[in-house]
Amino acid sequence: MTGVGRPRAVVTGIGLVSSLGRGAGATFEALCAGRSGLRRPPEGHPLHGSGVDVAGIAPDIDATSVLPPSEGRFVDRYALLALAAADDAIADAGLVVGRDVDPLRAAVVVSSGGGGLETYEEQARGRHARGRAAVSPYLLPGMLPNMAAARVAIKYGIRGYSAAIATACAAGAQSVAEALRLIRGGEADVVICGGSDAPLHPTVALAFGNARALAHGFDDPQEASRPFDTRRNGFVLAEGAGVLVVERADLAAARGAAAYAELLGWGATTDAYRPTTPRPDGEGAMACMRRAIADAGLAPADVDYVNTHGTGTKLGDVAEAKAVRAVFGSRSPAVSATKSMTGHLLGGAGAAEAAITALAIAGEVVPATRNLDTVDPACELDHVRGKAREGRVSAAVSNSFAFGGHNLSLVLGPAEGRVRSVTPEGAAR
């Protein structure tokens, strides 16, 4: 149900860059096969020898591959990752701005949890060492968290609404929700939306480490991210980006575009509890999921799958599990946590996981949670373990929860009309 006269929105393009590589198809195939992209920072990486012993490291992105040579200086890695994902998503959708959509009817919402933190750190280090002359005038366009959105808009000539949302680890998911809001409200026909972060440098990584938030003590780095498992002791910090092309359904159909999934609803709440920990009872997350499901015109019993926020922290996983049980009762939908293989992309996570959820709907297969050897009794749900699970997904929830108590849930379902074909290996048959 989409509401009387309310335009529908479909996902027609996906771009993913993460520790599993670049490309939506390859990423989803890896997830369904249970492959992890996590590893120890190699020699020469900024985190090598820092004390952070496992990370999700994305492929290098050559600035000249996503920008003209004259514009590649002082572009932070977070923006390069976002541009690469946006390039892939727009190409995947077969979209040409100016041909398929009026530039003033196209929008960009690409967010970040931290923006160009690496650029800022490098410039601050130079100023301390060499003084005022060491600070580049290009620092601001390099570090500002709106610059990924701005560069996507500039590159593709998108002249409508443009924004970057600063809700930490919920930013990517909230960007997707904003796309749905813009299309429903008649403010845009196409929205390029998503999130990106590149936090793998010592200051930010060590801040998380000193807060005892990071997974540690595992001989095999691919075992470190283990949401809902009894041995979990934190999340694995990762970099990456997820970008989706979201279009008004009737216009996508008119241009012959196929869709992965339909965006059905969204919900947002705030814990109003503590800056860095969730409400222990999961009430904020519970209310958020309920709002999203109601916004989609569905009931909890209609939901087949939940892509959890599932970071692997002691408190967060329990709070989310409580919330899922409160929403769905004794009939738990299938749940999985793909951060067990990608690590936590911070501001990029919610968009990447919305994209993964869309791929699961299109491919009719749900990735399993890796490293879930022994489920914490406080986290009992219908966990997909061992192998990916095949079967139609009629409706799915994708959760993102963030520092500051920001909660964002998205609801997606199968698209009508032309549907994208996704046939990953590794699913349970």
List, by residue number, the catalytic residues: 169, 309, 344
Tokens of 204: 């930010």
Q: Are 102 and 265 in contact (CB under 8 A)?
A: no
Instruction: Using DSSP, state whether 302 is helix, strand or coil.
Output: helix
d(CA 237, CA 215): 9
Rounded-to-integer distance, Cα 296 and Cα 353, Å: 18
Structure tokens at 354: 């919305």
List the one residue out of 422, 392, 394 whose CA is nearest residue 260.
422
Burial state string for 311-331 with b = 16 or more CB within 10 A and e = fewer than 16: bbbeebbbbbbbbbbbbbeee
Distance CA 34, CA 367 (A): 7
Q: Give the Cα separation of 194 and 78 in Å (integer).
A: 12
Please, which residues have CB within 8 angstroms of residue 111's CB and are 6 or more apart in sequence? 145, 148, 149, 163, 164, 165, 166, 167, 171, 172, 174, 175, 194, 195, 196, 347
- Quote the CA–CA distance of 54 and 233 in Å, as a whole number: 13
Q: Tokens for 33, please give them.
A: 């096969």
